[in-house]
Amino acid sequence: MGKIRTPYFRIVVTDSRKARNGLSIEEIGRYVPGQDPSIIEVNSERALYWLGVGAQPSEAVEALLKVTGDWQKHKGLPGTEGTLKVAAPKPAKSVAYEAAVKAAAAEPAEGATTLKKKAQEKLAAKSEPVAETVVEAVAEEPATVTEQIDEVASAPATSDESNSAATPGAEEAVVE
């Protein structure tokens, strides 16, 4: 059964006189080899019952019964626990969702997105206090603008402020 590149096998009890894919008496398990580890599910009670009443397993089913430990139980051999590997249980989707929400809440609010060009210019203008004083001065009287330009030009330059960038713009405002 299954589909292309995804096989799925049923473990069934059937009469040897019937067709191989014909009507089966009972389905006692399934085998899915496409995963790691492979899924092998066998109803042990029913498998032991049918082995006890004389059912003969095929080579493939006998190998699966040895992995689950049912063949050893039937024959009375050691190793009844089998060698079946069980996949680790997957965490619930709600746990993964909650972890993602916590991670998103811990991210910094600023710098998460890229600002548009005008928004970057506004942010840069706010971070430069010298430029603000010149812009505010332009809105005032022209006589006070020249006085403020002289104050800015005579003030000592600090590492945070760039007077060279503010001064040419301020002179242009006076000329206009």
pLDDT digit string, tens, across residues 144-163: 656 666 666 666 655 444 44
Per the DSSP assignment, residues forming a β-bridge with 27 are: 12
- Confidence (pLDDT) at 126: 79
Take residue 154 and report the two structure tokens written for it.
């005579």
- Confidence (pLDDT) at 76: 85
Within 13 Å and on the Cβ side, how many CA atoms surround 42? Answer: 26
Burial degree of 88 (CB within 10 A; 0-12, 13-18, 19+): exposed
Instruction: Using DSSP, state whether 31 is helix, strand or coil.
Output: strand
Q: Are the C-beta atoms of 72 and 82 separated by less than 8 Å?
A: yes
Residue recorded with tokens 């709600």: 94
CA 3 to chain centre: 28
Q: What is the CATH number of domain 2-75?
A: 3.30.1320.10
More confident residue, 25 or 116: 25
- Confidence (pLDDT) at 148: 64
- Confidence (pLDDT) at 38: 84
- Confidence (pLDDT) at 143: 57
pLDDT digit string, tens, across residues 42-80: 888 989 998 888 888 999 999 899 888 888 888 888 877
Take residue 137 and report the two structure tokens written for it.
């001065």
pLDDT digit string, tens, across residues 3-44: 888 888 888 998 888 887 778 888 899 888 888 888 888 888
Take residue 106 and report the two structure tokens written for it.
């811990």
At residue 91 the predicted structure's pLDDT band, cuts being 50, 70 and 90, is confident
Give yes or no for residue 127 having a pLDDT over 70: yes
Give yes or no for residue 142 having a pLDDT over 60: no
Give yes or no for residue 99 having a pLDDT over 50: yes
Q: Kindly list the domain boundaries of the chain, sorted by start residue.
A: 2-75, 117-175
- Confidence (pLDDT) at 16: 83
Nearest to 11 by CA among 45, 60, 68: 60
